[in-house]
Amino acid sequence: MNPICRRPRRYDRTRPRGAVYVAVLATAALASVMILAGLTALTAGERVRRTTEASARARHLASGALQRALTNPRNNAAWRDELSKGVSLGTSAFGGDQTTVTVTGPGGADVRASLSDPIIVIATAKAGAANHTLRATLTPRAFPLPALAAGLVGNLGVAFDSAKVDAMLPVYSNATMVATVSLIDTPVQSIGSRSGGTYNQGTSALASPVELPTFAKAAEHYLQVGTVVPWASLGGSNLDRRVIGPSHPPGGVTGNTQGVYVIDCQGNNLTLRRSRLSGTLVLRNVGLLTVSNTVLLEPAVEGFPVLIVEGSIDINLDGSALSESGQGTNYNPVGMPYLNSTDADTTDTYLANIAGIVYASGNLSIRGSVSLRGWALARGYLGVGVLGDSVAALISDVLGGNLLGLGGVLGGTPTYTNALTHRADRPSQPPPGFRQSPEFEIRDAHVVQVVE
C-alpha cells in the first residue's frame, strides 16, 4: 500500500500519558522528602536527647569524683603526701564513661610545699561526647583549739603553791583548781571548784571542758617531718650545754631543715639543761623530762611547738641568764644564728626563755623562776610551784580544809618561791596538731564549673 494513502494512527486515550508518569514521580519524590525530613527530625531529636543525657551523666560523674576526692580532708603532711602520690585519685572508667581527678597547689605548686597553701582539686568527667569539669579550692583553716585561748591548761586539775603568776592569758582547768600562798594575776576558769587564793582577776566557771589533743594527734605532723635520733646516740640521759637546731642536730644525725627531732626515750628519764634549742623536740616514751638550771628554747619554725612529750615534764629554772662564758659554750655558732647573728666567741649572754607550745601527755610542773612566751598544756595535772605528781595531793589537802599547802603557813607576808611570767597572745596561725577540725574550709563559692 502506498504509505501516503495510509490512515493516520489514532491515539488510545486510555493509555497513561508522560505527564501522568511525571506526576507520579513527583508525588513519590515528595513522599520521600517528607519521610526523610521526618527521619531527620527524629534523628536530631534523638541526638538532643542523647546529648542531654550525656551532659547530665557527665555532671553527675564529675560531682561524684570530686566528693570522693574530698572525703575526710586533713591538713597534715601525711594527707598531702597521699594526695601528691595520687592515692584514691587518677582516672576511673565506668563503661564508656571516664573521670579524672588531679590536685595541685597554687600556680601548679606541689601540694606538699606548705601546710598553709590551699589545694586545688579538679574533677573532669567524659560521658559520650559531653565533658564536665569541676574545680574546688580547699583553704586551710587556721582556727586554734580553744585551749590556746589560755596560757596554762591542766586537764585533770591545776594547783599553785607559793607561786606568783603574771600572765597575759587566763588559766583553764578541766577539773578543780586550788592555790595556796599564791598570787595569780590573771583570770582563772575551771569546770570544778576554785579554792584558795589569791586570784587577783577573779574566777569563773568554764562552760565546757577544753579539748587537749592526745599525743598521737599533737605529734602526728612532727613525726612525719622530723628526723629520728636514736636514744643510744645521745651518749646518756643528760643533754647539757647543747646547741640544737636545723644544722646542729643532736646525736650526730643528719640535720632537719625545720629543726624537728624525734627521740624515743624507751622509758628513760631525760634532762635538758644549760642548753639552747632552736627547733622542736618530740620525745616518745619518756619517764620524766626535766628542764633545769637555765635554757633558751624556741622553735625554728615560727608557731611550731617547742616540746611535745609523751610523758611528764618538770620545768625548774633558776632565773639566771644563759651565759656563754659561764657555760664555756658558744650558743650562736655558724648555722645557729641568734637575732640573725653568729660568731665564734664565748662572750654572749642570753635571757633564759621558753617560747612556743610546751605539751605533756602526762603531768606538767613549772617551778623556780620561769619566763614563758607560749602555752603550757598538760593532759594530766598542771602545777605551778608544785610537782605535777603532787598536784592531786595538794588539791585533796585544800578541799579537805588543810590550807597549809606545800608552800608554808598562811598569814603574815607571803613569800613566793616560784615565779612565772607569761607573755603570749592567742595564735592567729596555730600549728599542726593544735587546730580545730575540720582543718579545711570548702565553701560553695569555691566549687566552680570550668568552662572549656
Strand duo 260-264 + 280-284: pairing = parallel
Q: What is the mean pLDDT of residues 260-277?
A: 98
Split into its structural domains, the chain has a count of 2
227 and 312 fall within a common domain? yes
Q: What is the mean pLDDT of residues 201-227?
A: 96
Say what the pLDDT of residue 48 is.
72
Cα-based torsion angle of the residue sequence 231, 234, 240, 244 in order, rounded to the nearest 10 degrees: -90
248 and 150 fall within a common domain? yes
Query: Is the distance from CB of 208 to CB of 192 less than 8 angstroms?
Result: no
Say what the pLDDT of residue 9 is.
54
162 and 251 fall within a common domain? yes
Does a structural domain hold residue 22?
A: no
pLDDT tens-digit series, residues 228-267: 999 999 999 999 999 999 999 999 999 999 999 999 999 9
Does a structural domain hold residue 30?
A: no
222 and 315 fall within a common domain? yes
112 and 158 fall within a common domain? no
Say what the pLDDT of residue 408 is.
45
Highest mean pLDDT: which of 32-46, 73-87, 198-212? 198-212
Give the lowest-confidence range in 96-100, 266-270, 314-318, 393-397: 96-100
- Cα separation, 118 vs 113, whole angstroms: 10
The pLDDT confidence band at residue 442, using thresholds 50, 70 and 90, is low
- Give yes or no for residue 343 having a pLDDT over 80: yes
- Cα separation, 187 vs 364, whole angstroms: 20
The pLDDT confidence band at residue 97, using thresholds 50, 70 and 90, is confident
The residue among 299 and 66 whose pLDDT is bigger is 299
Grid look-up 636514736 returns 230
98 and 191 fall within a common domain? no
The amino acid occupying position 440 is: F
The residue among 129 and 341 whose pLDDT is bigger is 341
Give the lowest-confidence range in 1-15, 197-211, 223-237: 1-15
Q: What is the pTM of this model?
A: 0.74
Residue-level length of the chain? 452
**Percent of all residues in the chain with a pLDDT value above 90, rounded to a whole number:** 56
Does a structural domain hold residue 20?
A: no
The pLDDT confidence band at residue 409, using thresholds 50, 70 and 90, is very low
- Domain of residue 257: give its range: 146-422
Does a structural domain hold residue 73?
A: yes
Q: What is the mean pLDDT of residues 135-142?
A: 80
Say what the pLDDT of residue 22 is.
56
Give the lowest-confidence range in 11-20, 46-55, 382-391: 11-20
Does a structural domain hold residue 375?
A: yes
91 and 171 fall within a common domain? no
Strand duo 440-441 + 171-173: pairing = unpaired
The residue among 371 and 117 whose pLDDT is bigger is 371
Query: Is the distance from CB of 401 to CB of 383 less than 8 angstroms?
Result: no
The amino acid occupying position 407 is: G
Cα–Cα distances in Å, from 193 out to 72, 175, 333, 399, 401? 39, 8, 50, 9, 14
Q: What is the mean pLDDT of residues 373-385?
A: 97
Say what the pLDDT of residue 403 is.
60
- Give yes or no for residue 341 having a pLDDT over 90: yes
155 and 297 fall within a common domain? yes
The residue among 9 and 213 whose pLDDT is bigger is 213
190 and 251 fall within a common domain? yes
Does a structural domain hold residue 36?
A: no
166 and 136 fall within a common domain? no
Does a structural domain hold residue 31?
A: no
363 and 311 fall within a common domain? yes
Say what the pLDDT of residue 401 is.
75
- Give yes or no for residue 194 having a pLDDT over 50: yes
Does a structural domain hold residue 300?
A: yes
- Give yes or no for residue 407 having a pLDDT over 50: no
The pLDDT confidence band at residue 400, using thresholds 50, 70 and 90, is confident
Say what the pLDDT of residue 16 is.
53
Grid look-up 646525736 returns 251
CB atoms closer than 10 angstroms to residue 178: 28
Q: What is the mean pLDDT of residues 130-147?
A: 86
Query: Is the distance from CB of 136 to CB of 447 less than 8 angstroms?
Result: yes
Say what the pLDDT of residue 65 is.
83
Say what the pLDDT of residue 41 is.
59
- Give yes or no for residue 5 having a pLDDT over 80: no
61 and 173 fall within a common domain? no
- Give yes or no for residue 289 having a pLDDT over 70: yes
Burial group, residue 285, by CB count within 10 angstroms (0-12, 13-18, 19+): middle
Per the prediction, the chain carries an average pLDDT of 86
Say what the pLDDT of residue 168 is.
94
The residue among 386 and 67 whose pLDDT is bigger is 386
